Amino acid sequence: MPKNISKQKTATPSQTKDNYRTVVQTRIIDDVFTDGVEMVKPKFEADYRAYLDRLWEANSDLGNCLKKADGLEAARNAVFDYLEKTERQVFTLDSDLHILEKSTVRESIRVFKSIIGPINEKRCGVSALECLWKLARDTKEEMHHEVSVGFLMEFINLFRGVAGRSNIYFESRQAKKGIPDFLRLEGREAAHVRTEKLDEIGATISKYFKKYPSGLDADVISWREDNRKRILNYFEGNEDDWQNHTWQIKHVIRDAGPLFDLIELTMEQKEAIGQTGSNRIPFGITPYYLSLMDRHLAIGYDHAIRAQVIPPPEYVNMMAAYQPERDIIFDFMGEHDTSPIDLVTRRYPGIAILKPFNTCAQICVYCQRNWEIDEVLAPKALAAKNTIDEALAWFDEHRAIGDVLITGGDPCIMSDSGLERILSQLAEKKQVYRIRIGSRTPVVLPMRWTDALVNTISKFHEPGRREIAIVTHFEHPYEITPDAMNAVQKIKKAGISVYNQQVFTMENSRRFESAKLRRDLRLIGVDPYYTFNMKGKDETRSYMVPIARILQERKEEARLLPGLDRTDEPVFNVPKLGKNHLRAWQDHRLVMIKPEDGSRVYEFHPWEKNIAPMPPYNYTDIPIYDYLEELAARGENLRDYHTIWYYY
């Protein structure tokens, strides 16, 4: 154990499935869930009467609208009338709510109206309003088996939001009109009061940052030196071998054997890894990346690293079950329908993707293109020369495309000469002003960035004429190491920018976890670029995080950091269409909450909005309640997340 890093007191994700029931059975969930209502375990059934009491207490006026209505349409009219009256009330002079609480009221009303709109009920095939109306009139509890706790919690908070009782700003009372002390004061006195408050926030950030050590911490470096020596001894290598990317690739771990010998694994992890080979599920870990894993499970800082490459059972089972149809079933982004020619994907007027190499140094479990990668370092991963040439020639016919992203797979696993050939042909096209290279090698194989590779790529970087940019994929501060920093700095010294695309998952979504990543990335020379909401792929559901959480993270954590530490944009990738910027609230809206699990349904508008009449896309999200339960199982204080319900 590194001497300066305290052992984590939380349950590690790898242990979650084994001890989750034990953790929660004896615990009373705090009021983020239930206002002190005990959850009945171990069957995970809830005291519905207690939840319903909280629902009607949250807003008795809304409850009465539902209870007194003779039918569904009467309930709809009564609720609409109440919402419109309430919305007008917040604009009156005698409303004593704080202006920020009024904003929550208006937003809650907007969402409520959307949810009870008949057109949204038809499109979603379900009516939240009908469930609420039946619950209000149900004296025999016949509806309880149809409505989840997650659904009730969504409406408890929505009812409160409409009533101006969100408790976002005060825990014990409603936020009222008022001016903080530092705005009432003037001069140095005001500045001192303001500084005191800002110091409190800064101390909070520092407290959270300490939970997430990076690989640049001295003790972690020492710890990983021991890991490296142990792995080298296992593979009969030496220090020179370790820094040789061809040696690393030759010894990529493709089965469970070496892992069993080198690190502790849960029984669940052992079984999942054991099934990858027989089911043709891509699996691989570089020796370098293995050295970033904690040898012992009890330490737990490496949870995000393990989750990158060790598949959960549900992933393995689904990938195996749909093996014959894998290329269709798991193509969430609809690349089959946005590929005008082999190796090319296009969803925007000025950008296209080129995929010449169809494998990587190791495989990320939640890879967007898991449907087309057969195995790690597949021998036939490189497309045929004539296929590549035809794809490159296609760009001559589509001269609006000036930005080309070379990805795959990982093009930096290709030979220097193979990559140079593609770059050379693209550079000959006058309309191409930027070439991006998407590669995870700075993270999983930093020794790949030799002087020869950097020189090969930098030849095509001509300021004022053509930009070369590297887009990589760090997920967690624990992945940031001296080796990764050296690779990034070597690229930067050649005048080439390095950007990061993070995927927001269960493994990096805790309070300030991603904020710490961005801060540490900037320190090694990487610019945060995009933060992707986890793809809606059923096989990786256990990695997914509610959209409300990525919005909350952006406002309450990232926003507290300097602007240069938060240059990334949170986005949702709409199948077949492209990125929807989640901060642009006018480009998406919440249209339904599903009774069976409390999941939200969002309507996403395409990037062509206000340009061309493209249809929207409806997406069913991960229930907030389920996400919070998982955080609780991992030892998180759920009060840290209590505002999540009000991010739409």
- In 372-462, DSSP assigns E strands to 403-408, 434-438
Burial class (CB within 10 angstroms; exposed 0-12, middle 13-18, buried 19+) of 293: buried
| pLDDT on residue 507 | 96
Each residue of 500-520: b (16+ CB within 10 Å) or e?
A: bbbbbbbbbbbbbbbbbbbbb
pLDDT < 70: residue spans in the chain: 1-47, 139-144, 170-178, 324-334, 369-371, 374, 536
β-pairing, 467-472 vs 434-438, is parallel
| pLDDT on residue 423 | 98
Cβ pair 55, 154 in contact under 8 A: no
Domain boundaries, the chain: 31-175+584-648, 218-318, 328-583
| pLDDT on residue 319 | 77
Average pLDDT taken over every residue of the chain: 88
Each residue of 345-356: b (16+ CB within 10 Å) or e?
A: bbbeeebbbbbb
Domain 328-583 has CATH 3.40.50.1450: no
Q: What is the pLDDT of residues 399-450, one digit of tens each?
A: 999 999 999 889 999 999 999 999 999 999 999 999 999 999 999 999 999 9
| pLDDT on residue 464 | 96
CA–centroid distance for 257 within its chain: 31
Look up tokens 């330490």; give the residue.
Answer: 299
| pLDDT on residue 370 | 66
| pLDDT on residue 366 | 79
Task: Return the half-sphere exposure (C-beta side, CA atoms, 13 A cut-off) of residue 533.
Answer: 27
Comparing CA positions, the residue from 502, 514, 508 lying closest to residue 443 is 502
Tokens of 348: 């925007």
